[in-house]
Structure formats: C-alpha cells, structure tokens
Amino acid sequence: MQNVLNSVKGTALGVAEYLTPVLKESKFRETGVLTPEEFIAAGDHLTHHCPTWSWAVGDESKIKPYLPKDKQFLITRNVPCRRRCKQIEFVGEENLVEENDQDGGWVETHHYNPDEAGSSGLEDKVCEMKLDSSRIEDEQAADMDDPRNLDDGDGDGGEDDDEDGAAIDMDEFEESGLLETVDPSNALLPAPNEKPNPVASSEGDGDSVVRTRTYDLHITYDKYYQTPRLWVIGYDENRKLLSVEQMYDDVSQDHAKKTVTMETHPHLPGPNMASVHPCKHADIMKKIIQTVEEGGGELGVHMYLIIFLKFVQTVIPTIEYDFTQNFNITNHK
C-alpha cells in the first residue's frame, strides 16, 4: 500500500514540478532554497574539492533547459558499502545508569543480557588459546641453550658421537628406496591428478570474506522543491544490480520506504532508483544557516552541497561517500 501511495505522490509531484516556474531570485539565506545558477555554483565547488564527483549529461531527451547541457546532474561511482544498516542500528531496551546524577542520569544503550549470553554470545568470538605442553618440550629440546642439549659434564660427549657406528653407505641407502619418501616440504601440495577443493565463496557458507556492495550516487536539481535531490543505485560485488529490498537494507530503517522511495530518475531511463525525498532539505539548510550566523559566521551558497551530503549521510549511513572537506558549523567563515 505504501508503494502505491508513493507512486501516486511521485506522479503528482512530477506534474507540479513541470508547472512550477524556475526560481530566478536567490532565497538561499531566507528559506534555504537554490536557484539553478546557485546549484551549478555549488556543484562546481563540490567537483573541485572532491574530484570523485563529476558533472553528467544523461539522456538527451531529458535535458532540462534551465541547466547547462553539460551540467545536468552530479555523479560519483563505485562508492563502497561494506555493512548493512541492521548491523549498526541497535534495537532494544535502554538501561538507566546513575539515576541520581544531577544531569538526570545517562543511559547505556548497548549492553549485554547475561540471561541471553550463551554459545552464540560474545564468548564465541573469542578464540580459545591452549598451549601444547608436548610441543613446548620439543621446542625446548631443540634449543641449543637448553641444558638437555649440553654435555653431561664428564667430557665424553664427543666420544659418544664417534661410537654411534660407521657412516651409512649412500649406494645402499639409495637402493633401499628411502629417497622416494615424501618430501615434507611438498607434502601439502596436491598430487598431479588430484583436484583442489573449491574455496567457499558465498555469504551463506560462513566465511570471513567481506562482501562489498557498491553504489552510484547522483545529485539532481529539483525544480519543485528548489533543492538538491540525492539518488542511489546499488550493485553487488559482481556488479549485478541489487534488488529493491536489498537496497533498502542499506537505508536507515527509520527512513526506508518513507523518506527514501523508489522513483524515476529525471535524467536517465531504466530502472527506478532509490531517492531521498527533498521535502525537508530547505528547512534543514535554513536552520544550519541560522546557526552559523548566530555563531558570528557566514555561510556561502557554494558550500550547499558539501553540507547537503553530510546531513543526508544519516539516511544512508553505511554508504561511504563523504570524503568532502570538513565543515565546522559553529565558527564557519
């Protein structure tokens, strides 16, 4: 049902965007929105400071006349995503610690329940280490500094070696067939007609290989909301397109199918892409602008996309795209 509502809403917004006139006058400081020219300026700043981003054209039939032909939207490719959101999101009860604290106490959100601790708990992740006493004794015996490898002190040590017997005849040794004994250095190699065992490669086999997904990220200009809009599309390690549900695994569960929905890309044909809905972007940016100004600073419009990428990171926290310049909200000049 939610998907149907999102589809209807997306169609309605598409019509509204078509009818909305292009913003000509800057209202960045008053409302947190951008004109197309300001979007281009912010995009140029992003590509200059973070070269992994670049401008793209898209489908010729979907070019927006209010944007330069060679700067329709921004794109970065092959962004790694090594974990699923469920692996970093904590779901459970909070423990109140130090209730009498003057600040109202603090809560411990990550704790272990001793009743649930068992073979599947933290102890399973700690490898048990045992010392083999027989191996230690052998190693000690091989140590030339060990007393057991020294003479008995009676001066007869050298004579005992001479009395062990005559040297072995090498011709007899070769005829005995002992030279054909397996060489320990080659004992681990498979025989010529033996097939090596295949190495497990699937996630379900329980191996420790990290299966890294990758994402392509796009930033477009939304004419209706007059803000940037983020789009993502994911691939597995074989560059095979992820399913919709797999992509939702990499979205914060507070935002999946709500703030993030599957939509038609405004510049590209093909499958729908996951998009972070821009309805709150201007409000968030307006609050950031006010905070900077209250701290005595001034936020330039060219910084818009740098900040934009940082606050949408909370929606897709495991997609590791934010390598942009640092931004200090309290004293930015």
| Tokens describing residue 301 | 């419009």
Is 81 in the active site? no
**Nearest C-alpha neighbor of 218 from the set 287, 280, 264, 281:** 264
Count Cα neighbours of 283 within 13 Å in the Cβ-side half-sphere.
Answer: 4
DSSP β-bridge partners for residue 274 = 232, 262
Name the packing angle between helices 304-311 and 36-49 (round to 10°): 80
Identify the H or E element spanning 161.
helix 157-162
Cα distance between residue 155 and residue 157, in whole Å: 6
Please list, residue by residue across 280-314, b when 16 or more beta carbons sit within 10 angstroms of its beta carbon and e when fewer do. ebbeebbebbeebeeeeeebebbbbbbbbbeebee
**Residue whose pair of structure tokens reads 């992994």 in the numeric block:** 52
Choose the catalytic residue: 50, 81, 85, 279. 279
DSSP tally for the chain: helices H, then strands E: 9, 8
Helix, strand, or coil (residue 116): coil
Please list, residue by residue across 154-188, b when 16 or more beta carbons sit within 10 angstroms of its beta carbon and e when fewer do. eeeeeeeeeeeeeeeeeeeeeeeeeeeeeeeeeee
- The residues assigned a catalytic role are 279
